[in-house]
Structure 1
């Protein structure tokens, strides 16, 4: 592949996937500005590795892995700029969450989690990775993954409308109540996380 070919293929990849990568970064960091920085920094590394990633590799998976590791290493540096939940319309007394968009509620709850808990939960239930796969992605132990996921699920189990899904009985990295195994098509996310699946597009 010539230098011009590489530049052209990379530009095509960025043009097609950049918005989705920024959304993924925003999920990892709970901040769109940080998410965009994360995506841009990762794409620099992807470009450097392009010769071995294209055409037979998976440049998007590589970029997402770089982003997840960078967010994990940053740790609590993202915590102080965590976004508060958006101001919601005044609910009816009978059901304070009736009519609210599920994706909105899930994203608001994710923003309230500490960064590393949020990252593990996204990789486990949104990306559909196993504990071992997450540990490999982040460069940490499976025990660390399990403990972070357990704490995150416990926190979500007390978080309003998500309590039914992540409440009592959903501990560790067991599947939340009412969810299914990873879907048959290419490791699709679990049902509990599918309300954010549109962010991948």
Structure 2
């Protein structure tokens, strides 16, 4: 790579790194794993930077690569054998209701299968349309809709009934 594309790559990564890390964390539910996912994504973006730079929506391209790295990793035997945990959660601490709701939603999200979690993160966190999500995942719009439906139903079952409507999946935004 010459200096100019290299600088463009560095500038793009410097600007979008926080977004990629947050997305990876929502997918993996672990900051260390998220950093590994982002690093793998950055390598793939660098190797194909000419194609990325020519894309009409670089963020969509980067999100698609990140999600595909995550899903690919989940298919390996290593992901099924090893569960990484940051540290034990202190259950004795007093938590305000909003933090408790956020923990409940994250716990329920973590329990979903990887593709369902990816669909919800892309649709509701990244605010992508059904078609954009399907493109990022490399599947049909119908598959996105069915994964969304199943994932939201699972989240509704997993969340306590006393969750505020704004926190519950399908609640007002």
Corresponding residue for 2:83? 81
Q: Choose between structure 1 and 2: higher helix proportion.
A: 2
How far apart are 1:101 and its partner, in Å?
Answer: 5.8
Structure 2 gap segments, 5+ residues each: none
Whether 1:141 aligns to 2:150 is no
Q: Aligned partners of 2:167 and 2:19: how far apart in 1?
A: 26
Q: CA RMSD in A?
A: 3.2
Q: Aligned partners of 2:127 and 2:71: how far apart in 1?
A: 18
* 8 Å Cα contact 1:10-1:50 kept in structure 2: yes
User: Superposition pairs for residues 104-123 of structure 1, below 5 Å?
Assistant: 104-123=103-122
How far apart are 1:154 and its partner, in Å?
Answer: 1.2
* 8 Å Cα contact 2:40-2:69 kept in structure 1: no
Corresponding residue for 1:11? 10
Whether 1:70 aligns to 2:72 is no
Q: Aligned partners of 1:30 and 1:119: how far apart in 2?
A: 12
How far apart are 1:163 and its partner, in Å?
Answer: 7.3
Corresponding residue for 1:132? 131
TM-score by length of 2: 0.75
User: Superposition pairs for residues 150-189 of structure 1, below 5 Å?
Assistant: 150-158=149-157, 159-160=159-160, 162=163, 164=165, 176-177=170-171, 179=172
Whether 1:20 aligns to 2:19 is yes
Whether 1:59 aligns to 2:58 is yes
Q: Which has the higher contact order (CA 8 A, sep 6+)?
A: 2
* Number of aligned positions between the proteins: 167
Structure 1 gap segments, 5+ residues each: 171-175, 180-190, 192-201
Q: Aligned partners of 2:13 and 2:21: how far apart in 1?
A: 11
* 8 Å Cα contact 2:60-2:136 kept in structure 1: no
SS of 1:128 mapped into structure 2? coil
How far apart are 1:67 and its partner, in Å?
Answer: 0.7
Q: Per the alignment, do residues 140 and 33 of structure 1 end up closer, same or farther by CA in structure 2, a change over 3 Å counting?
A: same
Q: Aligned partners of 2:10 and 2:61: how far apart in 1?
A: 16
Q: Per the alignment, do residues 89 and 146 of structure 1 end up closer, same or farther by CA in structure 2, a change over 3 Å counting?
A: farther
